[in-house]
Amino acid sequence: MSRPVRVRFAPSPTGKLHVGGARTALFNWAFARRNGGKFLLRIEDTDPERSTTANEHEILNGLRQLGLDWDEGPDVGGPHAPYHQRLRIERHKTLAADLLARGKAYRCFCSRERLEALSKEQDARKEKNAYDGLCRKLAPAQAEVRAAAGEPYVLRFAVQPGETRFVDHVRGEVVFDNKEVEDWVMVRSDGNPTYNFVVVCDDVDMEITHVLRGEEHLVNTPKQVLLYHALGKTPPEFGHLPLMLGTDRKKLSKRTGDTALSDYIEKGFPKEAIVNFLCLQGWALDGSTEVFGIDDLVKHFDIKDVNKAGAIFDLDKFLWLGGEYVRREAPEELAEHVLPHVVKAGAVSEADVRARWPWFLQIVAGERERIRTYGEFAERTAYLFARDEAVVYDPAAENAAKKHERRVDTLRAYLEWLRPRLASGVDAALVRDATKAWVAEKGLKMPQLFQPLRVALTGLPGGPDLFDAMAWLGAPATLRRIEVALERLA
């Protein structure tokens, strides 16, 4: 007889949503959906200094963009409201007072100076840093008097000797000797409870059955399990997810790459690719299917299949996945996704693009196989929106063009030949065939014309079919760019 599954994701709105956090949320959500349970969101805003509502909105927004929804949370409410931890503080204080009254916690009057000196001594003796339990020996009545006199104190949890063990669905059973767990601070001297305390209070009140979180919390778990017992509650089951690592094999940090979900959204990774990639960090569908959607995750997710070892964030594979999803999109859909990035690049307005929508769709269809993110589209097509006189020549492309001795003569001859043929616009197929015939007739090798021409039109070393590019550019720009190249490639 097990209780209905209830899991939560409890982000702290002190910054952007980390991709590791996004994956934690995703796995929690999938676990709930897979097991017919509830997924709730709780905002861990106990640090008023660093928590902002802007961050909170961005986090919720990011989760929604990934396709997650929650049954209870700050915006949707629920039977256990409020879902902002800050608003639950009275309950936390009540629970803390109860623990104090029952001798499960005690007042500690030690000054920060003493604590600092203590840890210095411990360092010198190469001992582990931990509170020595001095105030635990104080008689409760005496502590009461000192507190009443206004002496500042913190509330510490009284750890009893023994062993603490818990089930971890990722790692198996984990055991800690309570000697390793210090008498940690539950309530600060300013009256605010600490994370390890409130997280348990809220998880108890919200009837959380499974706690799935990052491995960095593994060492907090014995403290929390002990607290559950002191509260007379059964601890939930745990699952500590492997860390997402940077290329330096350490916890993913800004040092080795972008860490915020929003960074990847801004770069224009397709949402489905983000979800897919996050799944692949620590979990596999079946060992051979790499591209799959969030529905497949729900259908097959089992916490027991989650990997124990940390996973290095593999940007190459992420980009590859991006390409997979980009190529699955129809031009119309892709055009909408790509448009904001084009506008952001600054050379053209959304209205201008929409005014030429069929034209834009052609370009999107043409570039689709060449991009892995929406952002890359904007980069690759920047030449289309450049001034004809100021197309940026990629050095590699320019050098390749300049390898050809007679490039200017060839280009000039071609320009003269081409001009009348574009009089009524560019028909890509026609010009393509005619040009190939022209090249053969002149006894030229293909690259002798095509490389200089490519630079003239696009400035890029690779790219779309040149005659498609001419069509996109239109006759005047095509001719003008070749004219300009006559001088720039001389």
Among 37, 62, 282, 375, binds RNA (CB under 7 A): 282
Residue 301 · residue 27 · CB < 8 Å:
yes
Among 450, 474, 483, 486, binds RNA (CB under 7 A): 450
Among 296, 298, 320, 365, binds RNA (CB under 7 A): 320
Looking only at residues 30 through 59 of this chain, which bind RNA when binding is defined by CB under 7 A? 44, 46-47
Strands 172-177, 185-187: pairing kind: unpaired
Residue 283 · residue 242 · CB < 8 Å:
no
Reply yes or no on whether 254 is catalytic. Answer: yes
Among 34, 93, 146, 171, binds RNA (CB under 7 A): 171
**Up-side HSE of residue 316: CA atoms within 13 Å toward CB?**
2
Mark the segment that binds RNA (CB under 7 A) among 89-97, 190-198, 264-272, 356-364. Answer: 190-198
Among 75, 98, 120, 129, binds RNA (CB under 7 A): 129
Phi, psi values for residue 321, rounded to 5°: -60, -40
Among 249, 254, 344, 442, binds RNA (CB under 7 A): 249
In DSSP terms, which residues pair with 84 in a beta bridge? 43
Tokens of 286: 């079946």
Q: Between 128 and 406, whose beta carbon lies closer to RNA? A: 128
Binding status of residue 441 toward RNA by CB under 7 A: no
Looking only at residues 359 through 418 of this chain, which bind RNA when binding is defined by CB under 7 A? 369-370
Of 120, 128, 254, 308, which residue is the catalytic one? 254
Mark the segment that binds RNA (CB under 7 A) among 68-76, 142-150, 259-267, 462-470. Answer: 462-470
Binding status of residue 189 toward RNA by CB under 7 A: yes
**Residue 145 CA: distances (Å) to CA of 424, 429, 432:** 98, 94, 95
Residue 419 · residue 382 · CB < 8 Å:
no
CA distance 310 to 251: 9
Mark the segment that binds RNA (CB under 7 A) among 55-63, 240-248, 336-344, 413-421. Answer: 240-248
Mark the segment that binds RNA (CB under 7 A) among 25-33, 201-209, 320-328, 416-424. Answer: 320-328
- Return the number of other C-beta atoms located less than 10 Å from residue 189's C-beta: 15
Site string for RNA, 284-303 (x = CB under 7 A): x-xxx-x-------------
Q: Between 63 and 280, whose beta carbon lies closer to RNA? A: 280
Q: Between 461 and 474, whose beta carbon lies closer to RNA? A: 461
Strands 38-41, 6-9: pairing kind: parallel
Residue 235 · residue 225 · CB < 8 Å:
yes
End-to-end CA distance of the chain: 83
> Which amino acid belongs to residue 39?
F
Catalytically annotated residues:
254
